[in-house]
Amino acid sequence: MEEAFELIGKRFIEARDQNGGSAIGVVGSNRTTNEENYLLSKFARVVLKTNNVDHHRTADYPALAAALHGKPGRTASMREVLNAPAILLIGNDPTNQHPLLAWQIRTNVRLRQAKLYVINSVPIKLRRQATDFAMVPAGTEAKAVDFLAGDDSQLDQLAGSQVADGMSREAWVALREKIRAEQTWSSFLDLRCADMTSRD
């Protein structure tokens, strides 16, 4: 075991010396304490000479489970995704994060003519199959959700954003009305884009 750690240390030093500290990234866990995260961050910055430090929060299953507890029907099975007449995808990139889900969505859109609505801060691959695509600034996906839920105070910030494909006020209102008109749909929200645990 000691030899393995020596080899790992040697490789880190080689990578740092050859390519600089920015060539290294350190990802912590969502199960570590604040103190452990501090030590990991200090190790990354002092020893590895990198500021590329993050803590893995993409799979915050305890928060997801708490948000969904006691709310039956809040998650969709793969079969439901394949058969849903409409799908709302917010702040997520299934092609890279969950290829099977992306395949189910594409198949549904192609074979069953499902309507796909996408709200994202990046132009994801599924955009090509989307009925509508709304580009939002990174980190504002929760504001889009609030607007879709009826909070018109978010409209100015969404319509006034300076993103390349920014939509007008009228386009946002039209998108909300299209989504509301769908009788049955499945929605997917990336938990990294906002803390949605308190929303009903």
Over the chain, what is the mean pLDDT? Answer: 79
pLDDT beyond 90 at 137: no
Burial class (CB in 10 A: 0-12, 13-18, 19+), 7: exposed
pLDDT beyond 90 at 126: yes
CA distance 189 to 89: 6
Predicted model pTM: 0.61
Mean pLDDT on 76-82: 80
pLDDT at 49: 86
Name the packing angle between helices 141-148 and 169-181 (round to 10°). Answer: 60
pLDDT at 197: 36
pLDDT beyond 90 at 106: yes
pLDDT beyond 70 at 53: yes
Q: How confident is the model at residue 194 (pLDDT cuts 50, 70, 90)?
A: very low
In this structure, are residues 114 and 134 in contact, taking their beta carbons and an 8 Å threshold? no
- Entry field: residues in the chain: 200
